[in-house]
Amino acid sequence: MNSENSIDIPQFKIDTKYLRTLLDEMIEINSVVGDEKDLAILLAEELQKLGLAIQLEDVEANRPNIYAHHQFAQKGKTLTFNGHLDTVDVCEGWTFEPFIPIEKDGNLYGLGSADMKGGIACQIAAIKALVDSNESQIGTIHFSAVVDEEGYGKGGRKMINNPFFGKGKTDGIIIAEPLFGNTIASSLPLGMTGKVLYKITIKGLSAHAYRPVQGINAITDASKIVNVIENLGDSSKNENLGFTLLSDDDFGKGSFCILKIEGGYKKYSVVVPEHCEIILNRLTVPGETKESLNQDLEQLIEKLNLKSMVTIELVPPFYYPYKISEDHELFSSLKRAYKESMGEDPYTSYMRMITDANVFMGEGKIPTVHFGPKGNNLHSPNENVNVNSLEVCAKIYAQTYCIFQKKNK
Ligand SMILES: [Zn+2]
């Protein structure tokens, strides 16, 4: 039995010059989702130089995940440092160059500087500190960087099924998302909602548009579906539909957002539209299953008594919600390391968002936490990362590894 305070926490010297050079190089490489290979190769070379064994695994042609591992002399647990290689695409409004790292007023600008090249550079600097440290370390470090997190999460799914780095091969994962824990907005998640994407196909009947009563207008029926979904949050408007959203103690209720609607002619024609399609995004909470999510929407639409034929399909990606206990050995190790450097506990919260943790823990049941440097303007123009937060972030990673090794389950 070892109490929290009896664990002595090694002080690591982070090679900040190394960290910064690596991060600059990473920003210079375009790794917009779909184009992750060059960055994977850079990281593979870097980790090889640090003495780690490397494996690249193609998720799709030219889209490799990279895995690396290092085993210390003394047996212990395995902890995975993880990040995603891809960034979102360059959006409009950048006044800095997205692929040229520029530091200004203590922040380093560049696409992915925060989400999440900064965090990955910190993880690799932490691995360097662990490998270089004179103290003998315990256990095994895994590192993985995966493709497609900003897309469909294919890289994460490939990883949990990898025979050496996936389910059953690691005791926990720290994802380098830029959640620094020092504000409510950057809280360290104790769980995340899940998500489902629906394709709702509405099939009516075409007729001459001058005699609309002879047809069934798929767009008009689609609009009734849109309207009822829009009003789901307002119980006074839908109580007669008998639809109640499941409410979770920590997350509250899920939510709906129509992402896309498409119907009508491709080339101008005066015809009652026969076809319409709706893509609907829904955040889900624990207790909602694939079956229930299909069923409740089906029942809701049935009650509208539309003339069109409506079919509902769940289309990828599907993400399971998950929660991790604040007392879990991984979360509490991270919290302990955080307090050591920051002097206070991190903010924590249940978040309405999706990351690869939904794949790792929601689907793969591997305990997963998030922590990363302080970032600004994520998925927006002039994304940047706070330079001072990089060193402390790397140190917290290395210390979390050591505390985790010493903690009893
Ligand atoms: Zn991210």
Alpha carbon of 387 to ligand 1 centroid (Å): 18
Q: What is the pLDDT of residue 248?
A: 96
| 394 CA → ligand 1 middle, Å | 17
Cα–Cα dist 404/334, whole Å: 8
pLDDT for residue 148 is more than 50: yes
Single-letter amino acid, residue 76: G
User: Ligand 1 center to residue 71 CA distance, Å?
Assistant: 28
- Cα(230)–Cα(228) distance, integer angstroms: 5
Mean pLDDT of 156-180: 98
In this predicted structure, the answer to whether residue 1 has a pLDDT above a threshold of 50 is no
Q: List, for residues 33-53, the tens digit of each pLDDT value.
A: 999 999 999 999 999 999 999
**Is pLDDT at 3 greater than 70 in this prediction?**
no
- Cα 184 to ligand 1 centroid, rounded to whole Å: 18
pLDDT tens column, 264-293: 999 999 999 999 999 999 999 999 999 999
pLDDT tens digits, one per residue of 82-102: 999 999 999 999 999 999 999
**Predicted confidence (pLDDT) per residue in 4-35, tens digit:** 556 788 889 999 999 999 999 999 999 999 99
Q: In 176-308, at which residue ranges do the beta strands (DSSP E only) sit?
A: 188-192, 194-203, 247-248, 252-253, 255-263, 275-284
Portion of the chain with pLDDT greater than 70, in percent = 96
- Answer yes or no: are the C-beta atoms of 146 and 57 closer than 8 Å: no
Q: How far is the CA of 402 from the centre of ligand 1 (A)?
A: 25
Residue 2 has pLDDT above 50, yes or no: no
Is this prediction's pTM over 0.85? yes
What is the Å distance from ligand 1's center to 331 Cα? Answer: 19
Q: Among positive and negative, which fits the CA dihedral 273, 274, 279, 280?
A: positive
Domains within the chain, CATH numbers bracketed = 4-192+321-406 (3.40.630.10), 194-319 (3.30.70.360)
Q: How far is the CA of 116 from the centre of ligand 1 (A)?
A: 5
d(CA 294, CA 314): 7
How many angstroms does the Cα of residue 32 sit away from the middle of ligand 1?
12
10 Å Cβ neighbour count for 353?
Answer: 12
Please confirm whether the linkage preceding 317 is cis (ω < 30° from 0).
yes
d(CA 36, CA 59): 11
Using CA atoms, how far residue 91 sits from 177, 231, 379, 380, in Å, is 20, 32, 8, 7
pLDDT in tens, 362-390: 999 999 999 999 999 999 999 999 999 99
Q: What is the mean pLDDT of residues 310-326?
A: 97
Gap from CA of 156 to ligand 1 centroid (Å): 12
Q: Compute the distance between CA of residue 259 and CA of residue 213 in angstroms, rounded to an integer.
A: 30
Give the type of residue at 139: G
**Residue in this structure with the two tokens 């299909």, named with its chain if needed:** 294
pLDDT of residue 379: 95
Instruction: Map 151-204 to HEC letters.
Output: CCCHHHHHHHCCCCCCCCCCCCEEECCCCCCCCCCCCEEEEECEEEEEEEEEEC
Q: Determine the distance separating the centroid of ligand 1 and the alpha carbon of 355, expressed in angstroms.
A: 7
> What token pair was written down for 189?
């998640």
User: Please, which residues have CB less than 5 A from ligand 1, an ion?
Assistant: 115-116
**Ligand 1 centroid from CA 364, angstroms:** 19
Per DSSP (E only), the strands in 27-137 are 53-60, 63-71, 74-84, 102-104, 107-109
Query: In whole angstroms, what is the distance from residue 407 CA to residue 409 CA?
Result: 6
Query: 234 burial class (0-12, 13-18, 19+ CB within 10 angstroms)?
Result: exposed
